Structure 1
Amino acid sequence: MKIALITENSQAAKNGIIHEALTSVAEPLGHEVHNYGMYTAEDEASLTYIMNGLLTGILLNSKAADFVVTGCGTGMGSLLACNAMPGVFCGLVIDPTDAFLFSQINAGNAVSMPYAKGFGWAAELNLQDCYRKLFEGTPGEGYPKERAAIMKTNRGILKDFKAAATHDMVTVLKNVDQDLLKATIAGARFGEYFYASCQDENIAEYLRQL
């Protein structure tokens, strides 16, 4: 699957560490990683945690990505912004147990992680362990196993609930502040990765005309 990495401005200096930890786990498992930046704290295109959420919504709803790894200082801001988007089910992952349970119980399509709070010695090892728990198994198998069926039912109910409570992604794109949207997709490699992978021409067409 295609995994998108998004880093916001306060933690942009750590993008290389995060990207290396993610690719070292995901690529040997057969996954493809697209690094949407920010790449350094000095990038001309700057992403806030709010823009992380909007970009996550664009990537997942267009099927340009199957899964998004993002975060911020605490992970909370990006979590809230991601879950405001249609079709995005984002979990807060701090340690490998969080990663395992989110994958097995919730089977979501995005995670937000803290890249300042608790990010100390050997932090890259914790990242690798988290990514391994996210991507090495089959999501949604349930934990404990005997509750797998009810967990699957609840995921379906939640998906329907969110669809009823949110607009479709094109409507979101039209309604958000257009300067914010333009800044969100201004990253140096957005066009290279996104348009080659996008499977929703309505979303692609709207973004192109910006």
Structure 2
Amino acid sequence: MKWVQLPLGPLQTNAYVIRNEEKECLIFDPGHEGEKLLGYLRQEGLQPLAVLLTHAHFDHIGAVDAVREAYHIPVYLHEEEAEWLADPSLNGSALFMMNRAVTAGPADELITGKANLKIGPFSLEVRETPGHSPGSVSYYMAEAGLVVSGDALFQMSIGRTDLPGGSFPELIGSIEEKLFTLPEETVVLCGHGPETTIGFEKAKNPFLT
């Protein structure tokens, strides 16, 4: 299994494409620049099976409809943020994009609580990691040894908690209970910036040591 990081949009939000040898893939957090992302998928001859959102802030959802319409695939999102896709005041675009609303159609599959997903040949464990936003989740793929953390955990940092529904104590609890309990060699694919590992963040992250 292979993955690629594609920083997209004005905030350089990381979209991730995780693929197998048969060129089937999952797309995580397609934030902006739909044509750039679609161009990569076509260039590589990939067959997307689903879009998975770690949360519904505007910089993670801007290319959702472009990908969904191109490949007719489902979009997964935690039920806590089901209304955020269509509401710029909830997803933050009304505040940060100077009235350039970012919206997407409704999610096709709503995640409720901890879940195990089987999408084609891919197996994922959904871990609820609220704190940055109330419906934030992380996707753990044990076979690949990685977790897509969205904006919960970054290299040497954590997600901001001053946005609507954010909570610093809740985020710290999410990281300690849902992410730091993963194997230390687990690669963390972060919503912004470079990847890291659970072991490195447990030892070095100044917010958590």
TM-score by length of 2: 0.31
Structure with more of its chain in strand, by fraction: 2
Structure with more of its chain in helix, by fraction: 1
Higher relative contact order (CA 8 A, sep 6+): 1
